[in-house]
Structure 1
């Protein structure tokens, strides 16, 4: 079964709300009710929301749009997440045509790997 909660209206102070004790309490309550929690956040570079959320969760999966996201932006995003001690568990490269010549170009820069769950540690997200 899947249960979804929408974000609703954008508040005037999202960073303040995401970093609040009430947000931590809400996530703790959700952890008791659900096996897995997935939080979709805005991009890391333009706003701080994802970095704040990254400090509250067990793992961050970075989604990168193939053919559009510059390598430097991915590297900067990784550094920003590391600065707040967010656990980067993987990168998902989407929008890639595996039949195009560009696919082989991407394979030089991105590798496939498993998160801590497959290394013997449980990962909750």
Structure 2
């Protein structure tokens, strides 16, 4: 759900604006212009997070491109009600940005590149020089590119692409995302020298919150680990 469009004054929308601020200050000397958002496992909320973050960044005056690089199970187009006939996979077969691939949205400044038809070799495409050229071309007119990929433990796409980007954020769900899955993901990303900027906690229950959940953002794993393991123990003890 694009809560940042449908309910812009809600608590949840405000937490996305907080995430926007965190991303903006993640690197002072070199602004983040290519940001990958993914998760250790399916169902953690990575696509919901990336689409809503794209909205609030554009609402703040940024020229934003959301690129759906999940060339296995794409979902970005469903959030914005866009056709998916052409997209990222189309660009790999052309030397220029093909008309119609950059799709407009109701939010001024926000455009989307859907996945397009699903290719047989997504991991090879994510590690190619071609995708770097595509992003470089897009950055001639965009302030930031938000990149959605499959979960890290499902396939190697995110780990293959991450080292060439300015940073990445992991989305997890306390009590759902397995601790070992997060540890394995972080180790995998460390081995490829990916720059993990932080961790978003999705679907965190809170007392007195009419929406029933909110988002937290941690800049380091140790802070998240303490919170996460405490909540898991608490949940198991009930």
TM-score range relative to shorter protein: 0.7 to 0.9
Q: Give structure 1 regions of 4+ aligned residues with deviation exceeding 2 angstroms.
A: 106-110
Match of 1:14 in 2: 122
After superposition, the Cα gap between the structure-2 partners of 1:107 and 1:87, relative to the gap in structure 1 and judged at 3 Å, is closer
Retained in 2: the 8 A contact 1:67–1:96? no
Tell me, in whole angstroms, the C-alpha distance in 2 between the residues paired with 1:95 and 1:29: 36
Give me the TM-score of the superposition, normalised by structure 1. Answer: 0.77
2:202 is matched with which residue: 94, 97, 108? 94
Q: In the alignment, which residue of structure 1 is the partner of 2:84?
A: none
> How far apart, in 2, do the equivalents of 1:68 and 1:93 lie?
11
The one of 39, 51, 55 equivalent to 2:163 is: 55
Instruction: Give the gaps of 5 or more residues in structure 2.
Output: 1-108, 209-223, 229-238
Rg larger in 1 or in 2? 2
- 3-state DSSP class of the match of 2:204? coil
Structure 1: which 5+ runs fail to align?
101-105, 111-125
In the alignment, what sits opposite 1:29? 137
Q: Which has the higher strand share?
A: 2
Partner SS for 1:86: coil
CA RMSD, 1 decimal:
2.0
- Give the Cα–Cα distance (whole angstroms) in 2 for the partners of residues 107 and 67 of structure 1: 12
1:68 alignment partner in structure 2: 176
TM-score, structure 2 normalization: 0.42
Question: How many angstroms apart in 2 are the aligned matches of 1:17 and 1:42?
Answer: 13
